[in-house]
Chains A and B, each alone.
Chain A
Amino acid sequence: MHAKRKAGSARATRATPADVWTLRLYVAGRTPISLAAFANLKRLCAAHLNGRYAIEVIDLVETPRRARDDQILAVPTLVRMLPGPVRKVIGDLSDTKRVLVGLDLIPAPKKSS
């Protein structure tokens, strides 16, 4: 496994695997944006996923191959691996509402830009 776990405490253990949301956060080094994205993601998951989630942080600087293998372009990129289908959200995840829409946690507003 190439991934580096940035925050092991974020991993949930209580729920069954089917219910667990598997999220991957791709970053490139410890930049302010990537740190902000990780903080935003943790806050968001705590508020909306109630412990049924696992976050895997992948630093592309350490495992550059993953950028190509996982089709990553922009950083930070948040990928919802499970449940399918795969969804991608890029940016520092500061706009909570859009992140929730992007992760399909709330339905998209009618006129999404």
Chain B
Amino acid sequence: MEIPKDNRYLKIPIYLLKSVKGGLGFTVILTFSILPFLRSFIVKYNPQTVGVGLPNQPPSYAHLLGTTSLGQDVFSQFISGGLIPIIVGILTGIFTSFLVIIIALPMGYYSDKLSGKFIALLTDIFLVIPTLPLIIILGVYLGPSVFNQVFVLTLISWPFPTRIVSSQVMSLKERGFILSAKACGASDMKIMFEEILPNVTTLIISNTILVIIFAILFQTAISFLGLGDPTQIDWGNMLYYAEQSGAIANGEWWWVIPPGIGIMLLAFSFSLLFLRIEEIMRDY
């Protein structure tokens, strides 16, 4: 039997990136993260500058994806617009996974005690709160900003993966190696964080990616409703302004389709990562 020199869990990123799915997904995400910073090398127009071209123009040599109703260059906006969804998505994923860890571990571990049941009740309450109304209300109340978006999205994302992880914790805590750890005198905290947590890490990672996908989609929705940050350009914003100026009714597809495709590509790329991680968990 082969004995590895290093921790086999460190190999996961390598397996992830070395594959078709993983490599492709990662490349697309990386592209949309870096492009906004390279915008000036690609397109000379700033995405927000008004009047760089005639308004509502279809794609041309000067403006590869045409112009908005304010004469802004759409291509420039398209290149820059992916950054915010990615940042919001990833930040939401990170904060949600912290919450999941600190809530799901005790919830599962103490599931037969009052404390665990109380946490479960709280989780269930948050789970059934209707998400869209909550987003709208908080969006209006807190005001537009990227951080508020992350806050709101984290708030709606944490219950679902928490339940999944906590039920895994519940079944793990009955297993032989946990009983042995208890018999050795290990404290509850030590058991939860040192013995149980490593066994749910892959579950948390794959759920986090799902959270990121949904966060990206919801972030676009928030922006689309006009609750996003108007000082920044993101694909959701683009769709908001496009909708506001009747772009769809006027058939100005060059303004509407690129951000739509952008969001789809982004979500799809994260999905590829998710699928690849599932594969790795299964086969290795």
Chains A and B belong together in one complex: no
What residues make up the interface of B, taking CB atoms closer than 8 Å to A?
none
